Amino acid sequence: MHAHVLEDLLPPLLQFSKHKPDAPLSILDVGCGSGYLVSVFGRMVEKERVEPKLNKGKVFGIDVVPQLVEMSRKNIMKEDGDLFESNTVQVMVGDGWKGYPEGAPYNAIHVGAAAATFPKNLMAQLAVGGVMVIPVGPDGGVQYLYRVERVGDDGGVVGVGRDDSKISFSEDDFKVYRVLGVRYVPLVRTDD
């Protein structure tokens, strides 16, 4: 599944790097769990690459479970601790339904748990041209992996100089593609 996600998220990262060669990439991994994808994304953006051309950037990993964030941190430190030292990756406790506005807008978002519906707050943090890969469906029910592309900014994009509290949601800003059937644990919400 990780390879499939990477195949869906690499093309928009390459496209962004081609059109904005001096702009840093920003990637969010929701449900960072073991830390594996945070490390992979970190290696992809730790330094500017020539082939394939990929800009430097920053990877943010969030999970609602503090113990999983700690496990992620420990696993990354085993072989990829330099990603923390270079400030290429950061992992923290956070609600995946809310995302991490401080790192937005994101060129790529991976969600590693099934949302009952599409999280609008998270979608608003996707950069125009960015892609989110997310499983959607009820816990224990039929779930699908979706590819969500941000194609417009009529509703506004979190983190691009506007007052984020005034951002609305416009469905016309997104193209949504159902990719394949999946089975994931539920994306947990916090009460605050």
**Predicted local distance difference test score (pLDDT) of residue 166:** 64
**Predicted local distance difference test score (pLDDT) of residue 160:** 63
Percent of the chain surpassing pLDDT 70: 92
pLDDT digits (tens, 9 = 90+) for 117-139: 999 889 999 999 999 999 999 99
pLDDT at 98 over 60: yes
pLDDT digits (tens, 9 = 90+) for 1-45: 788 889 999 999 999 999 999 999 999 999 998 999 999 999 999
Tokens 């995946």 belong to 96
**Predicted local distance difference test score (pLDDT) of residue 14:** 93
Percent of the chain surpassing pLDDT 90: 73
- What per-residue string of b and e applies to 152-191 under the rule 16 or more CB within 10 Å gives b? ebebbbbbeeeeeeebeeeeebbeeeeeeebebeebeeee
Residue 188 φ then ψ, to 5° = -85, 140
- pTM beyond cutoff 0.85: yes
pLDDT at 163 over 90: no
pLDDT-derived band at 164 (thresholds 50, 70, 90) equals low
* Residue 85 three-state SS: helix
pLDDT-derived band at 178 (thresholds 50, 70, 90) equals very high
